[in-house]
Amino acid sequence: MIGAGFLNLPPWQGRLQQTLNELNRNDLLRIPVLGTENVEHPWVALEPEDFFSAVSTGILFNDDYRLKRLPEKIITADAEVAIRRLLAGKTDNTFFKGCIGSSYPFLKMLADDKKNISRFYVQNDAVAGYILAQMESESCSLDKAIASAQWEKIASSNPSPNLHGIVTRNRLILQMAEIFGCIVAPEKVATTGISSLSLDDVKIADFMGFSIRLLGMAESIGGAIRASVEPCMLPRQYFLAQARKGSEIFYAVSDKEQAQIYSCPGTSCETLVKGIIADLDQVSNERATERQLKIVSEVETFSDRYYLRFSLVNLTSTMAQILNLFSAAGIEVEEIFQPEIEVSRETESSRTVVFQTAKTEPAKLSSVIGRIEEQIKLATVVSCFKLFR
């Protein structure tokens, strides 16, 4: 393919060759590779001078700070590279379907249908989705669920970016770019992962008829952009709670409250390569259109209901103090209960109590939690999740 070349290759070169053969894209086995790589036959590496004289579109699998020079156009599977370039204004020369995950065909369909999407919710990290579903179905700890995902070759040896919500956040930002036409710096998106998730909360959620899922959420209404990534409690009948282990799901709502949902397999080597090929075909067929992305400097958070689990000593007086702090902050507590299932305790005298709040702002709730931890020594906030009803 004239004008295209690999800036680097993934560790799975053999798998890449097999995937390209299966997709009938043997032409990509003959494009050059930048000479810093040790390449397998039939690829041929070119020295930088020859490579850059022949290549105007570079395919980048992962970030490599050794690269001091880049072609005019970049097709990348590295979300951080894509975001960095988009924030720098290189919107017309940056292509990133390989970064988004398996949902990129759905985003194209939304664009082709000219749907005016005002908000969307995604489970776009199949690794996090598998781990949460495994904890729920097998009633196992987070560590055991991670080990299972690694055994099944769903998670890598270092799943930290999945557990801390980084994968979800970066894909959410690129999905926002496609749907809302804006680009947001990663640090602007409030992000909470599942690295400290307790099986106790998974059990309580199940008792309540809920599932815990890691969601990316985004909204664009009246010029205001809202976005966040966090574990949420969802009623089990919600589509977003029913994604199969290791799959991805995308729920979009238009400004006329028309909803569309798309479920797809989790991101794999094959889907990553398909995304790269889709971008390459777009560039090669000269179908790339000018794209202007608005840089958003302020990102708001969502007001929602919350689930909070407390460990309390001296139940009656401690709960009264907590309720006083909630009341003073103007946060309504809609329900209080003690779970009927057994959960771990900090001490023999402590008791587990669950609060469900009315809709409130995250900053206001965070302030109350800070006061509880500071002023009420016999109360511990064990966990806090957004609660959908």
Q: What stretch of H or E contains 138?
A: helix 126-138
Q: Is 331 in contact with 358 (CB distance < 8 Å)?
A: yes
Q: Is 152 in contact with 180 (CB distance < 8 Å)?
A: no
- Provide the greatest CA pair distance for the chain: 77
Residue where the block lists tokens 């156009």: 73
Taking the C-alpha atoms of residue 183 and residue 169, their distance in angstroms, rounded to an integer, is 12
Q: What tens digit of pLDDT does each residue of 173-189 get?
A: 999 999 999 999 999 99
What is the mean predicted confidence (pLDDT) over 309-325? 93
Least Cα distance to 293 among 74, 93, 73 occurs for 93
Q: Which two tokens stand for residue 370?
A: 């800070």
Taking the C-alpha atoms of residue 363 and residue 341, their distance in angstroms, rounded to an integer, is 31
What is the mean predicted confidence (pLDDT) over 54-62? 92
Residue 348 has pLDDT above 80, yes or no: no
Domain spanning 305-387: which superfamily?
ACT domain (3.30.70.260)
pTM for the full predicted model: 0.93
Q: CATH for 100-267+289-296?
A: 3.30.360.10
Residue 376 has pLDDT above 60, yes or no: yes
Taking the C-alpha atoms of residue 242 and residue 213, their distance in angstroms, rounded to an integer, is 10
In the chain, domain spans: 4-99, 100-267+289-296, 305-387
Amino acid (1-letter code) at residue 252: A
User: Do the domains 305-387 and 100-267+289-296 match in fold?
Assistant: no
What is the mean predicted confidence (pLDDT) over 248-263? 89
Kindly list the distances between the CA atom of residue 109 and the CA atoms of 50, 103, 187, 222, 223, in Å, as whole numbers in the listed order. Answer: 39, 10, 29, 24, 24
What pLDDT is attached to residue 112? 67
Burial class (CB in 10 A: 0-12, 13-18, 19+), 297: exposed
Taking the C-alpha atoms of residue 345 and residue 351, their distance in angstroms, rounded to an integer, is 7
What pLDDT is attached to residue 123? 94
- Beta strand residue intervals within 56-178, DSSP E: 57-60, 73-76, 94-95, 117-123
pLDDT band for 37, please (50, 70, 90 cuts).
low
Q: What stretch of H or E contains 52?
A: helix 48-54
What is the mean predicted confidence (pLDDT) over 274-288? 82
